[in-house]
Amino acid sequence: MSMDHFIDRRTFLASLGALTAGAPFAFRSGRPPFWPLGAAAGLPLRARAQAKGLLYGSSTLVRYLRDDKAFSARFAEECGILVPEWELKWEVIRPAPDRFDFTAPDFLAAYAAEHTMAFRGHPLVWHESLPPWFATTVNRSNAETILRKHIATVAGRYAGKVHSWDVVNEAIDLGGGRPDSLRASPWLDFLGPDYIRIAFEAAAQADPHALLCYNDYGIEFKWPKEQAKRAAVLELLRRLKSSNVPIQALGIQAHLRAGDPGFSVQELATFLRQVADLGLKILITELDADDRALPKDPATRDQAVAKTYESFVSVALAEPAVIAVLTWGLSDRYTYFNKMRPRTDGAPARPLPLDADLKPKPAYDALARAFDAAPARPGPSAQK
C-alpha cells in the first residue's frame, strides 16, 4: 500500500484530534472512542478539549500511576493522552546493546488503552538519556544500523497504538555554530545531518499510523535567541518537507517562564501559521511554567503561572493546526522541576495545573478557559 495512503490516514487521524482519543486502539478494543462527558459544570480537561476536537493530556511515570491510586484516578479523569516522561528513553528501554526492556512503556501503553487515552511516544532519537554502553559501543560504522534497529523495534512494537511520535527531539542548537544550526550530538557526528531523514523514514516504515513529529524547546518567546531558534526550526522543517521526509507535525515543548514579559501574541501566532503552511500539525508537548524567578508566596506564583498558561495556550489554540496540549506532569506532586531545576529558596515548584494535593489551581482554570474558548476543530465531536 502506498505511503500516500498512510499519510492520508495520518492526516485524517491528526485532524480528528481527541475526537477519537486513542482511535486505532480504542476502535480495536471495541470501546467507544468518546470519553463519557462529566457534569457540564466540572468538565475535566480531557472532555473540554475533546468537545473542540482537541487532546489534552500529560506526561507521567509508571510509579506515579502504579503506586499512587489518588493520582492515578485524577490522571485518568483529566487526561485524554499520555506520554512517558522518561520510560521510552534509550537509558530505560536499552539496558544492553543487544537487549530491549519494554516493561515500563508496556505498562503505560496498557494504562492509556484501559482509560481510553491516546498514547504518545517520546523520543526515538535524542542526544540525552542515552545508556552507559552507548558511548563505548556506537560508532560511525554501526550507528545507522543501531538507529534503524532501535526505531524499527520500538516504533514497531507500538505500531497502531501510538497517536504521535517525537521522532527527533531537540536537534537545533544555535550555539553549535553550524549554518544549519544542528546540535552537536553522537547522531550528527556519526551520520551527519542525514540522521534526521533516516529516523523519520524508519519510523514511517515501522508505524505508518502514527503522526511523526519533530520536537523542540526555546521557541515560544520574543527574545532574540528564541526568535533565531524559531527561524532555524522553521528552516529545518522546510528542508525536511522539500526533501519529502515523512514528517507530519511539530512539537513545541513550551517549557515557559512564569512572569517572563517576553511573550508576543503576534510572533507566536505568525510562527504557528508558518508551520501550518508547511502542511504540518502542531502539538504543545511539554507545557509547564517555571516559577523560580517569582517570589515564594504560592498565591502570587499561581496567578503568574495561570497567566502564562492562558496567554500561551489561547494563542496556540487559535491556530487550527494545533491539535493537542500536553503538560509535562499533571500535578505539582510530581513535577520534574523539584529534581532538575529547584528553587533557590527551597520552596516546592508550582508549575502544573493541579497542586500537590491534586486540587485544581488557577493554571487548571486557565487551561479550561482556553479549551472552552478554542475554535472547534472539524470532525464528529464538533457536530455533537
Q: Tell how far CA 203 is from the center of its chain.
A: 16
- Would you count residue 71 as binding ligand XIL (CB under 6 A)? no
- Would you count residue 85 as binding ligand XIL (CB under 6 A)? yes
| Contact string 320-349 vs ligand XIL (x = CB under 6 A) | ----------------x-------------
CB closer to ligand XIL, 51 vs 182 = 182
Angle at 161 between CA 159 and CA 163, to 5 degrees: 105
CB closer to ligand XIL, 48 vs 94 = 94
Catalytic residue among 78, 170, 220, 226: 170
CB closer to ligand XIL, 53 vs 251 = 251
CB closer to ligand XIL, 169 vs 248 = 169
Sequence-separated (6 or more) residues with CB below 8 Å from residue 276: 282, 319, 320, 321
Site for ligand XIL in 275-314 (CB under 6 A): 286
The three-state DSSP-derived secondary structure of the chain is: CCHHHHHHHHHHHHHHHHHHCCHHHHHHHCCCCCCCCCCCCCCCHHHHHHCCCCEEEEEECHHHHHHCHHHHHHHHHHCCEEEECCCCCHHHHCCECCECCCHHHHHHHHHHHHCCCEEEECCCECCCCCCCCHHHHCCCCCHHHHHHHHHHHHHHHCCCCCCEEEEEECCECHHHCCCCCECCCHHHHHHHHHHHHHHHHHHHHHCCCCEEEEEECCCCCCCHHHHHHHHHHHHHHHHHHHCCCCCCEEEECCEEECCCCCCCHHHHHHHHHHHHCCCCEEEEEEEEEECCCCCCCHHHHHHHHHHHHHHHHHHHHCCCCEEEEEECCCEHHHCCHHHHCCCCCCCCCCCCCECCCCCECHHHHHHHHHHHHCCCCCCHHHHC
Binding residue (CB under 6 A) for ligand XIL from 129, 205, 227, 311: 129
- Would you count residue 158 as binding ligand XIL (CB under 6 A)? no
Active site residue 235: no
In whole angstroms, how close is the CB of 64 to ligand XIL at the nearest point?
11
CB closer to ligand XIL, 85 vs 332 = 85
Binding residue (CB under 6 A) for ligand XIL from 86, 102, 107, 133: 86
CB closer to ligand XIL, 41 vs 340 = 340
Contact 349, 292 (CB under 8 A): yes
Residue with smallest beta-carbon separation from ligand XIL: 336
In whole angstroms, how close is the CB of 271 to ligand XIL at the nearest point?
19
In whole angstroms, how close is the CB of 173 to ligand XIL at the nearest point?
13
In whole angstroms, how close is the CB of 229 to ligand XIL at the nearest point?
14
Active site residue 170: yes
Site for ligand XIL in 238-267 (CB under 6 A): 253
Catalytic residue among 85, 226, 286, 310: 286
In whole angstroms, how close is the CB of 129 to ligand XIL at the nearest point?
6
* Count of positions on this chain that bind ligand XIL (CB under 6 A): 7
Contact 158, 119 (CB under 8 A): yes
What crossing angle do the helices spanning 224-242 and 265-276 adopt, rounded to 10°? 10
In whole angstroms, how close is the CB of 19 to ligand XIL at the nearest point?
27
CB closer to ligand XIL, 154 vs 374 = 154
In whole angstroms, how close is the CB of 7 to ligand XIL at the nearest point?
25
Known catalytic residues are 170, 286
The residues binding ligand XIL (CB under 6 A) are: 85-86, 129, 169, 253, 286, 336
